[in-house]
Amino acid sequence: MDFKKAVFLDRDGTINFDENGYINNPDDFQLFSFSGEAIVTLNEMGYLVFVVTNQSGVARNLYKVEDIELVHKKMTKNLGEKGAIIDDIFFSPYHKKGAVEPYNIDHEDRKPGLGMFKKALKKYNFNIKKSFMIGDRYADIVFGKKAGLTAILVLTGNGERAFYKKRKEWEYKPDFVVRNLLSAVKLISKLESK
Ligand SMILES: [Mg+2]
């Protein structure tokens, strides 16, 4: 049987606005207008769609794991209203400088660590070479490249500032840089038809 393929999506700045720092309340969660269409297209192309998000606000005592789950409930609901399906959500509540136990440690789950990737691979056993990572931060690119995925940087969220100001310092380079999540999905579709 043919192995499945997967697209890993960062959350804040990639799927939704990331204007006001930590999102700890469903009311502060707002999808980008194009995210539903982008994810529906991935669903139709047969990709597993995973969200992988660093949420160190838990370790930093800014919000709790339950708050993240409420935000994800809203994300799933809002995407569902557009017909878009997220197959699984992985989040990392860790940060070594945090105050809240047991999350105040350096943990492999925190991107660019590969903990969330490994969990997804174990659970879904997809074809790494046919899979992608899409995100707006350098940590997303490092995560994608270290995992062996094709890494796409979007210029929404933190992306534009990071790319134009910091890219010369980057040891890992994105395979592609595109405007937003929908452009990334159109690119994936184009690469598939080659
Ligand atoms: Mg982000």
H helix intervals, the chain: 35-44, 65-80, 115-124, 138-147, 159-166, 181-192
Adjacent-strand bridge partners of 48: 6
pLDDT of residue 3: 80
**How close is the Cα of 49 to the center of ligand 1, in Å?**
16
Sheet holding 176-178, edge to edge: 88-92, 47-54, 5-9, 132-135, 150-154, 176-178
Report how many domains make up the chain: 1
pTM for this entry:
0.97
Answer yes or no: 12 catalytic: yes
Confidence bin at 2 (pLDDT 50/70/90): low
pLDDT tens-place string over residues 104-149: 999 999 999 999 999 999 999 999 999 999 999 999 999 999 999 9
How far is ligand 1, taken at its centre, from the CA of residue 31, in Å? 13
Could you give the C-alpha distances from 116 to 93, 113, 135, 140, 176, in angstroms and in order?
A: 12, 8, 14, 12, 22
In angstroms, the CA 118 to CA 176 distance is 23
Q: How many CA atoms lie within 13 A of 133 on its CB side?
A: 30
Local structure of 179: helix, strand or coil: coil
Cα-to-centroid distance, 133 and ligand 1 (Å) = 12
Task: Tell me what the pLDDT averaged over the chain comes to.
Answer: 96
DSSP 193: T
Q: Which of 10, 18, 67, 140 is catalytic?
A: 10
pLDDT at 19: 84
CA of 16 to the centre of ligand 1 (A): 9
CATH code, domain with 152: 3.40.50.1000
Least confident of 1-10, 146-155, 156-165, 174-183: 1-10
Distances (CA, A) of 4 to 7, 114, 121, 128: 10, 19, 11, 9
Closest-CA residue to 53 (of 168, 183, 157)? 157
Q: Domain limits at 68?
A: 5-192
pLDDT tens for 74-108 read 999 999 999 999 999 999 999 999 999 999 999 99
Give the Å distance between the CA of 151 and the centre of ligand 1: 14
Percent of the chain with pLDDT over 90: 94
Among the listed residues 2, 12, 27, 175, the single catalytic one is: 12
Question: Tell me: the pLDDT tens digits for 20-61?
Answer: 778 989 999 999 999 999 999 999 999 999 999 999 999 999
* pLDDT of res. 91: 98
* pLDDT in the model for residue 1: 53
- In contact, 132 and 149? CB cutoff 8 Å: yes
Segments of 44-110 assigned E as strands: 47-54, 88-92
